[in-house]
Structure 1
Amino acid sequence: MSAEAMESEVYSDEEKDALHILPLAIVPLKTPGMRRPRLIKNARFETVMELFRDARAGSGQIDIGSLPDFFDASAPTFAEDRVIIEALAEAPSFDVYSLRLTLRSHNLKVNEAEHLQLSPRMQEKLTGYMRVFTRPLVQRVFGDDTRDISSAAQIIDMFREVDRDEALRRIRAISDALGLEIDQIPGFLEDYGDIFLSLSYFKRHLDQIRPDFEVMKTWMQEGVVDSHLKHNRDAMRACEVVTANVDAAIRFVLSRFQAFDETSKEFWKDLSRERYGVLRQLIQSHHHTVGGILCGLSVKLERWHQDFPNATGSPNKRVDFLLAEMIPGLEKIRALEKSAPALG
């Protein structure tokens, strides 16, 4: 097995499914050794290259500007690979869907079927979320059938179990409304399923972040606001800044999800190619923003869990954490909110 082939296999499902981790093994880099590390987002929402991670030695990280100090800058492929890594480092999130958009915008080719897909395990976890989006499609094609269908493949499989003539009649009605040929419908189903799988993925992350942050707010209230630091302006201000910014970010993402849901419902009420184009564009145009915000919040809450696994800590340590780890980088999340496309 070649060195390149060995490097291409060194990543886990957990890394591929993460918002804040990019195993460089999935990227077609050519400089020796450059596909072994991974890019990660740190608690300050900065992209760094992690050269190694060890339970005893910790995480060996370098900033992207230091690449010539750790790789062969004289290699003929180094300059080109450096451009690719710098472009990827600018992505606000490393989820597979945002990565697709980033790579395409820089004309970089990656085997999406193999590398830029969520793992089967993650897709299974998203089944409940996907039913919300597949139900109107199933009802359109199969009437009132309300079985637990969560993917385009399952919908196609249902043709074997129902009145094919009636199902085909309904499919033909959908294809006419969308201006598609019958043989283009499987492609539409895959595209529809992929778009809403990405949305389900983001919703699952938000559903983890919201209760997590409520626990953290209690941690700040009980351990700082109600402590001997209650008259310390800096301590109170730190709690206020974190609470206001994270709550605002969560509200922002919720408003986008609401817009996606409403536009999806309108699409199924009055099918047309134009309405599907609007729905598709709306969701894709917010991928970077929503993914980036959720990535930033996830990284910060993960760091909180690492530093305070039992949600304890003295008042002073809690404030130090807020000032050193929570507040830095929040301005980047605010910038993402401001840069988002308007909703209609």
Structure 2
Amino acid sequence: MAKKGVRFPEKERDYEAEDRQRVQEDMDSLFAVPLAILPLETKGLKRARMVKNVKLQSAIEVFSDRETGSGQLDVEDLPAEFDWPEDKTHPDLIIMRKLAVLQSYDIYSLRITLREHGIPVNEDVALKLSDEKQAELAGYMRSFTMPLIMQIYGTDDMSIKSFSDVVGLFKDPDVRKAREKLQQMAEKLDIDIMEVPKFLEDYGDIFLSLSYYRNSMDNIMPIVNEFLDSMEGIRSNWQLRNDPALMKTCTMVENTINETCASISGRFETFNKASKNMWKNLNAERFRQVKGMIESYHTVIGGILCGLTVKMIHWKRLFPDPDLGGPVRRSEFIMSEMKQGIDRMRDLERAQPMGAVLNIDED
């Protein structure tokens, strides 16, 4: 990682025109957060982002492209970079230090940990996924939204086919028809009709978060399997198999990845079981219980998936094809990059193991 001497571009850029798309892409990311969302005093910082590098360390990325690579700064290099006064701690440095300890930069973990660490966001910033990302997750969301629709409307109402149709009731020009529908929903959920909008907002958001994490897991698993398959080539190499340090590291990395992937999958199964129990007789209180359980594990799931994603992205970038690279190069990467910080994923999982499945009694 680059230290001192990495300079921010001096030429002013039209942030609105040039960086808007990248900022939104970062909002969809597990491992990058655009600093533009924070109320920072230093203008140059607002064009950068905080990332998790391959060693799972937090760094401020000044620039990144395929030709020049990634220009990164350590948080503690910022005072010298910006000539901040030495006699007091700059307010931006306080924020950066707090941001650096976060385990994941996905929006769901950010919501929780930014609040816990007292890190504010700009008033005009909404921590939410892009419309494009939400559209990508539509298939995952369907398994969570259709049971709600069936519970409330059953199979007879063909006008309600999607969750967006339910939300769209609030914009229905036929006020009488919309109110009847919303009253039906309120009675089914055992809440006041004025509480329905908040319920739908929370319902959509919590299951969108679960869809986001499952999608992230599904996207990275093919690379994880490629990586694990490559272990056999390293262990069967006559030169490498006699290196005890390498063999020990390979086993540690392999076990950590297997254990954390199994843990995440187990958590998803637990959430699904609790959700199915909830849907058997849905009401607002049962949903709040499931919502609380899922939210309590956001930072663990986000942290593990962030670490796993970063490691696998770098692996795939170096070894885009299973037949490229050879066991020696792969072993060098494992010893120099892959093992660094991977213990954080294991520690996250062990610090908050999955408890018993939420017990929702059936009436």
TM interval, shorter chain, is: 0.7 to 0.9
Deviations 1:58-77 (A, max 9, x none): 21111112111112413999
Deviations 1:78-137 (A, max 9, x none): 722211111111111111111111222234433587441111111111000000110111
Is it true that 1:323 corresponds to 2:335 in the alignment? yes
Contact 1:30 1:77 survives alignment (8 Å): no
Coordinate RMSD, CA, aligned: 2.9
> Residue 53 of structure 1 aligns to a residue in which SS?
strand
How far off is 1:268 after superposition?
A: 1.9
2:187 counterpart letter in structure 1: A
Q: Per the alignment, do residues 77 and 322 of structure 1 end up closer, same or farther by CA in structure 2, a change over 3 Å counting?
A: same
Looking at structure 1, the residues matched to 202 and 67 of structure 2 have their Cα atoms a distance apart, in angstroms, of 44
Partner of residue 172, structure 1: 186
Is it true that 1:300 corresponds to 2:311 in the alignment? yes
Contact 1:31 1:72 survives alignment (8 Å): no
Contact 2:149 2:162 survives alignment (8 Å): no
1:10 counterpart letter in structure 2: D
Q: Per the alignment, do residues 101 and 5 of structure 1 end up closer, same or farther by CA in structure 2, a change over 3 Å counting?
A: farther
Give percent identity, aligned residues only: 38
Deviations 1:183-222 (A, max 9, x none): 210111011101111110000011122222111122222x
Q: 5+ unaligned residues in a row in structure 1: which ranges? A: none
Partner of residue 197, structure 2: 186
1:249 alignment partner, one of 248, 251, 260? 260
Q: Per the alignment, do residues 24 and 17 of structure 1 end up closer, same or farther by CA in structure 2, a change over 3 Å counting?
A: same
Looking at structure 2, the residues matched to 146 and 244 of structure 1 have their Cα atoms a distance apart, in angstroms, of 50
Q: Per the alignment, do residues 29 and 150 of structure 1 end up closer, same or farther by CA in structure 2, a change over 3 Å counting?
A: farther
Equivalent residues in 2 for 1:93-108, closer than 5 Å: 93-108=104-119
1:313 alignment partner, one of 316, 325, 344? 325
Q: Per the alignment, do residues 71 and 182 of structure 1 end up closer, same or farther by CA in structure 2, a change over 3 Å counting?
A: same
Q: Per the alignment, do residues 148 and 253 of structure 1 end up closer, same or farther by CA in structure 2, a change over 3 Å counting?
A: farther
Contact 1:225 1:236 survives alignment (8 Å): yes
> Residue 44 of structure 2 aligns to a residue in which SS?
coil
Is it true that 1:227 corresponds to 2:241 in the alignment? no
How far off is 1:16 after superposition?
A: 1.9
Contact 1:31 1:77 survives alignment (8 Å): no
Equivalent residue pairs, number: 337
2:215 alignment partner, one of 204, 207, 228? 204
**If the length of structure 1 is used for normalisation, what is the TM-score?**
0.88
Is it true that 1:10 corresponds to 2:57 in the alignment? no
Looking at structure 2, the residues matched to 17 and 266 of structure 1 have their Cα atoms a distance apart, in angstroms, of 30
Equivalent residues in 2 for 1:70-149, closer than 5 Å: 70-74=81-85, 79-110=90-121, 114-144=125-155
Is it true that 1:240 corresponds to 2:254 in the alignment? no
Looking at structure 2, the residues matched to 31 and 75 of structure 1 have their Cα atoms a distance apart, in angstroms, of 16
Q: 5+ unaligned residues in a row in structure 2: which ranges? A: 1-11, 357-363
Q: Per the alignment, do residues 103 and 165 of structure 1 end up closer, same or farther by CA in structure 2, a change over 3 Å counting?
A: closer
Contact 2:42 2:92 survives alignment (8 Å): yes
Looking at structure 1, the residues matched to 311 and 29 of structure 2 have their Cα atoms a distance apart, in angstroms, of 14
Is it true that 1:290 corresponds to 2:304 in the alignment? no
Partner of residue 3, structure 2: none
How far off is 1:174 after superposition?
A: 2.6
Deviations 1:216-242 (A, max 9, x none): 122222x31232233443333333222
Contact 1:40 1:47 survives alignment (8 Å): yes
Looking at structure 2, the residues matched to 107 and 5 of structure 1 have their Cα atoms a distance apart, in angstroms, of 30
Looking at structure 1, the residues matched to 113 and 13 of structure 2 have their Cα atoms a distance apart, in angstroms, of 23
How far off is 1:10 after superposition?
A: 2.6
Contact 1:253 1:290 survives alignment (8 Å): yes
Looking at structure 2, the residues matched to 71 and 175 of structure 1 have their Cα atoms a distance apart, in angstroms, of 55
2:339 counterpart letter in structure 1: I
Which shows bigger deviation, 47-56 or 268-277? 268-277
Looking at structure 1, the residues matched to 85 and 122 of structure 2 have their Cα atoms a distance apart, in angstroms, of 28
Looking at structure 1, the residues matched to 27 and 179 of structure 2 have their Cα atoms a distance apart, in angstroms, of 41
How far off is 1:182 after superposition?
A: 0.2
